[in-house]
Amino acid sequence: MIILETEIQKLSCPLTNEELITAGNELSKTINKIKEEKETQKAAKSAMKAVIDELSKVMAVQAEIVRNKAEVRPIDVKHMLNDSGMVEYVRSDTGEIIETRKAKPGELQNKMDIPPTEK
């Protein structure tokens, strides 16, 4: 028989016990790497979701401000005793009366310039 050509082919070969142990160890390492990568990706996904959730909360607040064309701000409110014995809550920025209620006895004493009694 005359050899016309030689080539390399990938063919099945039985493993020795040592080769089988080495292949098993490599398989185990790869399985562990996959497990670790899944855990890393899960943590990263969770962190990304937390960022999106936080941004969604900010967006909801901003959307409400735009929708209402107003936002809640801290404003000084003066409690003013009027001549009718009523207490008016007056915004310091606009002078608007936002609430009116009947004065309490201690507040009426202020109107009469009598110091309140101590209890």
Query: Which candidate, 88, 104, 13, 44, places its Cα nearest to that of 52?
Result: 44
Is residue 24 located within the same domain as residue 51?
yes
Q: CB of 15 within 8 A of CB of 27? A: no
Is residue 67 located within the same domain as residue 43?
yes
DSSP 7: -
Extract the tokens encoding 96. Answer: 């608007």
Q: How confident is the model at residue 119 (pLDDT cuts 50, 70, 90)?
A: low
Tell whether pTM > 0.75.
no
- Residue 8: inside a domain, yes or no? no
Extract the tokens encoding 24. Answer: 């098993």
Is residue 91 located within the same domain as residue 57?
no
Residue 81 β-bridge partners: 87
Is residue 54 located within the same domain as residue 29?
yes
Kindly state the percentage of the chain with pLDDT values over 90.
86
**How high is the pLDDT of residue 112?**
65
**How high is the pLDDT of residue 116?**
57
- Using a CB cutoff of 8 Å and minimum separation of 24, what contacts does 68-74 make? none
- Residue 119: inside a domain, yes or no? no
Is residue 29 located within the same domain as residue 59?
yes
**How high is the pLDDT of residue 46?**
96
**Tally of structural domains, the chain:** 2
Is residue 25 located within the same domain as residue 62?
yes
Rounded CA gap, 98 and 83, in Å? 18
Extract the tokens encoding 75. Answer: 């404003």
Q: Please give the average per-residue pLDDT across 2-30, as a whole number.
A: 96
- Residue 118: inside a domain, yes or no? no
Q: How many Å separate Cα 77 from the centre of its chain?
A: 32
Domain interval for residue 65: 19-72
Is residue 63 located within the same domain as residue 99?
no
